Amino acid sequence: MPAPRRPLIAGNWKMNGLGAEAEALATDLARRTWAVGAPAFELVLCPPFTLVARVAAAVAGSGIAVGGQDCHTEEKGAHTGDVSAAMLADLGCSFVIVGHSERRADHGEDDTLVKAKAEAALAAGLRAIVCIGETEAERHGGRTLATVAGQLDASLPVGAGAANTVVAYEPVWAIGSGLTPSAEEIQEVHAHIRGELAKRLGTDEAGGIRILYGGSVKPENAAALLTLADVDGGLIGGASLDAGGFWSIAESCV
Ligand code: 13P
């Protein structure tokens, strides 16, 4: 029997936030979590590297996890400006996003590099959130399922399983655009991803892996998009910068 999948709501703050506002946002979410006790969903906040330590301190003891937005493939060395998975773990992170489309586009990251980063994350004891998703041209060309299957196959780390890997499906054209696929389209892609995971890892393991949807999720559409059969939570960008909105998205998932 596949393990039940606890919904995961991840806030990707991207390059946003300075100390005081970040601390206020994290503290607000920690208070809401304490007030509920043991929420049915799991929250992870992924602030910029500069804020990881402050956010980790603000949510300590609340059950909210902290993640990085990227990591290097190596544990340490001569890589100016980079941050390793071990460094993130050292700061209190338990997750890291790898292969976000903004990194693929802005920094030329390909599937091979994303896979290596995900493997570095696992080696450091972090859980990897591996991002995949088609462009607008790929969708219009009818290549959505083939694109995400190809990215998944080439980006998934060796050793991936339900305990250490999360997949995030983020159509590139839906990010920050206010556009989303229909609920039926999202479910179709997620079911396809789970089927591909099952081919590789077996049905039980694939049945336990959380597959998040990301791209223009807001409090208004969260219930419709994040409660589909193969959708196990969301990777939230803009709407994660508001505590009330982010919390309401999380509550919509259960
Ligand atoms: P938005 O929620 O702002 O569309 O961003 C989604 C995203 O890229 C999360 O990683």
Contact (Cβ atoms closer than 8 angstroms) between residue 100 and residue 69 = yes
178 lines ligand 1 (CB under 6 A): no
- The model carries a pTM of 0.98
Contact (Cβ atoms closer than 8 angstroms) between residue 137 and residue 153 = no
Contact (Cβ atoms closer than 8 angstroms) between residue 31 and residue 39 = no
Q: How many angstroms does the Cα of residue 86 sit away from the middle of ligand 1?
A: 25
pLDDT higher than threshold 70 for residue 3: no
Contact (Cβ atoms closer than 8 angstroms) between residue 83 and residue 98 = no
Sign of CA dihedral 13, 178, 190, 183: positive
**Is 100 assigned a catalytic role?**
yes
| pLDDT band per the 50, 70, 90 thresholds, residue 2 | low
**Protein residue closest via CA to atom 2 of ligand 1:** 237
Distance, in Å, from the CA atom of 243 to the CA atom of 245, rounded to the nearest integer, reads 6
Sign of CA dihedral 173, 175, 181, 186: positive
Average pLDDT in the chain:
97
pLDDT digits (tens, 9 = 90+) for 4-21: 899 999 999 999 999 999
Q: Where are the domains of the chain?
A: 8-252
**Is 140 assigned a catalytic role?**
no
Q: What are phi and psi of 68, to 5 degrees?
A: -90, 170
CATH fold of 8-252: TIM Barrel (3.20.20)
pLDDT digits (tens, 9 = 90+) for 200-244: 999 999 999 999 999 999 999 999 999 999 999 999 999 999 999
Size (the chain), residues: 254
Q: How many angstroms does the Cα of residue 236 sit away from the middle of ligand 1?
A: 5
Predicted local distance difference test score (pLDDT) of residue 4? 82
pLDDT digits (tens, 9 = 90+) for 138-179: 999 999 999 999 999 999 999 999 999 999 999 999 999 999
pLDDT digits (tens, 9 = 90+) for 94-109: 999 999 999 999 999 9
Q: Which candidate, 174, 226, 247, places its Cα nearest to that of 5?
A: 226
Which residues, including other chains, have CB under 8 Å from residue 75's CB and lie 6 or more apart? 84, 85, 86, 120, 123, 124
